[in-house]
Structure 1
């Protein structure tokens, strides 16, 4: 199988099942025009996040890593009336682009964009906890720290999702010199060892290439 095939299959299912409206299309286009890295989730992955949040009935969502706000829009649209999403972004340009994209989607009153290093911002969120769903999609070397705070800011029944954990298969290499791979490996090992978490991981292929995610449930 080739990247061309993976993209074609994504396009087929997206055309039937994924409602990517003008605000989402514009969010992706404006992120690209601003020169942001093309690291946002694919449309079908955004819809998956939206469905998971809706199935879970999430009222409070924490996103670590905003980028241009594409995944933020998908997640925020899953919230019921009165719901709230807090998203953390260290890069000022990304935060500016995201703010414009989120406002155009009509979600400025639902989404709280906080600017700065996530490890500095996370301790400030205890008054908003517990969060029902946490989506971690930021710098991978810090994933172990993000997991620690995700656990501190959630409750039994909360869901924690970690994106980009397969790294084109490099995750299986214990000797990888890539700090992103090592961050993902330690993140997954900590999840596997934690008595309050049960989890699984899924490999994915598609328009974004070969990667995957970890899905964990806080049990007690």
Structure 2
């Protein structure tokens, strides 16, 4: 992750047995998660937020989006064990580059091993520190624009991450924001959960931005009931 998440409630929700079975079926038949990805997923238990990585079919979906968009430069907010990062890095190809922002040094020690095992270490740059500060430095450095951004860090900071993403991308770039359904709590405008309010605030920001086309998709599966926003810069 990139900033600290509030201690409660959990960022994952109970998943119905049927949802888990369906995810397992599609992962085994369509995704073909290889041993290095399996190891990276399991190593999430060594991070500061176990079981927070995307599901295998969701990782494959992110990879497909990168390929469909023709993205070669990817920015990720929130690394943890690097599971989603590996999907992204493999999808940009050998000539591509992924920058991932991670707060916790403990997690970086885990991801470095995972990136080496997956054969993507040379195309991934991990920046350690608060993501808002790291992104601000990238903006200050006038780095080459990114083609694809994946936001999967602390939810209260979603609006700040979106603002940074808009500074760091160009027309046609794709921005994906994870964990936006919150077990259905996203519809509760009076929620006291800062994660819910962070999602609602970023939805408002997207709605108010005439340069963004966006939709949201709910998902059920081994991670419970959640979903993501997919936006594209005009």
Q: In the alignment, what sits opposite 1:142?
A: 157
**What is aligned with 1:18?**
31
1:161 to 176, 186, 204: 176
Residues in 1 aligned to 2:177 and 2:163: alpha-carbon distance in whole angstroms? 13
2:80 paired with 1:67: yes
Partner of 1:119: 132
**C-alpha contact 2:47 2:80 (8 A) present in aligned 1:** no
Residue by residue over 1:132-155, the C-alpha shift from the partner in whole angstroms, topping out at 9 and shown as x without a partner, is: 000000000000000000000000
CA contact (8 A) 1:6 1:206 kept: yes
Distance in 1, Cα, partners of 2:65 & 2:143? 21
The alpha-carbon deviation at position 125 of structure 1 amounts to 1.5
Q: Which residue of 2 aligns with 1:44?
A: 57
1:94 alignment partner in structure 2: 107
CA contact (8 A) 1:36 1:94 kept: no
Question: How many Å separate the matches in 2 of 1:49 and 1:79?
Answer: 11
Q: Which structure 2 residue ranges, 5 or more long, are not aligned?
A: 1-14
Alignment RMSD: 1.1
| Alignment partners' CA distance in 2, 1:189 and 1:34 | 32
Determine helix, strand or coil for the equivalent of 1:78.
helix
**For 1:182-201, what aligned pairs fall within 5 Å after superposition?**
182-201=197-216
Q: Count residues with an aligned counterpart.
A: 218
**Is the CA contact 2:48–2:107 (under 8 Å) kept in the aligned structure 1?**
no
**1:156 match: secondary structure:** strand
User: TM-score normalised to the size of structure 1?
Assistant: 0.96
Asked if the contact 2:46/2:110 (under 8 Å) is kept, the reply is no
Post-superposition offset of 1:30:
1.9
CA deviations over 1:117-172 (Å, ceiling 9, x no partner): 00100022233231000000000000000000000000000000000000000000
Alpha-carbon distance, 1:34 to partner: 5.0
Shift of residue 100 of structure 1?
Answer: 1.2
Answer whether contact 1:66 1:89 (CA < 8 A) is retained: yes
Q: So what's the TM-score if we normalise by structure 2?
A: 0.91
Residue-by-residue CA offset, 1:158-188 (whole Å, 9 max, x unaligned): 0000000000000000000000000000001
1:96: Cα distance to partner? Answer: 1.3
Q: Runs in 1 of length 4+ with deviation above 3 angstroms?
A: 33-36
**Unpaired runs of at least 5, structure 1:** none
